Structure 1
Amino acid sequence: MRQFVDTGTGELFYEEQILRRTDEIVKVFRPAGRSSKFVKIKASQKAKRRLRKLSLAEAGFLLKIAPYASEGTNLLEGDNERGQKGIPLSVKDLARIADCSYPTARKIVKTFIELHVLRRTDLEGRSALAINPLYALNGKTAEAWLLQLFKQEITEAGEDPNLD
Structure 2
Amino acid sequence: MLRRSDEIVKVFRPVGRSSKFVKIKASQKAKRRLRKLSLAEAGFLLKITPYASEGTNLLEGDNERGQRGVPLTVKDLACIADCSYPTARKIVRAFIAERILRRVEIDGRTALAINPLYSFNGKSAETSLLQLFKWEITEAGEDPNSE
TM over 0.5: yes
Question: Aligned pair 1:129/2:120, yes or no?
Answer: no
Q: 1:121 to 1:36 in 2, by over 3 A?
A: same
- Distance (Å, rounded) in 1 between the aligned partners of 2:36 and 2:25: 14
Amino acid at match of 1:71: E
- Distance (Å, rounded) in 2 between the aligned partners of 1:68 and 1:103: 20
Superposed displacement of residue 35, structure 1? 3.1
Structure with greater helix share of residues: 2
Question: Aligned pair 1:48/2:48, yes or no?
Answer: no
Is the radius of gyration larger for structure 1 or structure 2? Answer: 1
- Distance (Å, rounded) in 2 between the aligned partners of 1:27 and 1:153: 23
Other-structure match for 1:159:
142
- Computed over aligned residues only, the root mean square deviation of the Cα atoms, in angstroms, reads 2.5
Other-structure match for 1:95:
78
- Percent identity at matched positions? 76
Q: How does 1:75-114 map to 2 (within 5 A)?
A: 75-114=58-97
Aligned residues: 144
Report if the CA contact (8 A) 1:147-1:162 is conserved. Answer: no
Q: How does 1:132-151 map to 2 (within 5 A)?
A: 132-151=115-134
Q: Which runs of 5+ in 2 are unaligned?
A: none
Q: 1:141 to 1:25 in 2, by over 3 A?
A: closer
How does the TM-score come out when normalised to structure 2?
0.89
Q: 1:107 to 1:28 in 2, by over 3 A?
A: closer
Amino acid at match of 1:65: I
Superposed displacement of residue 34, structure 1? 6.8
Q: How does 1:22-41 map to 2 (within 5 A)?
A: 35-41=18-24
Q: Deviations over 1:121-145 (max 9, x none)?
A: 0010000000000000000111111
Amino acid at match of 2:72: L
Superposed displacement of residue 37, structure 1? 1.5
How does the TM-score come out when normalised to structure 1?
0.80
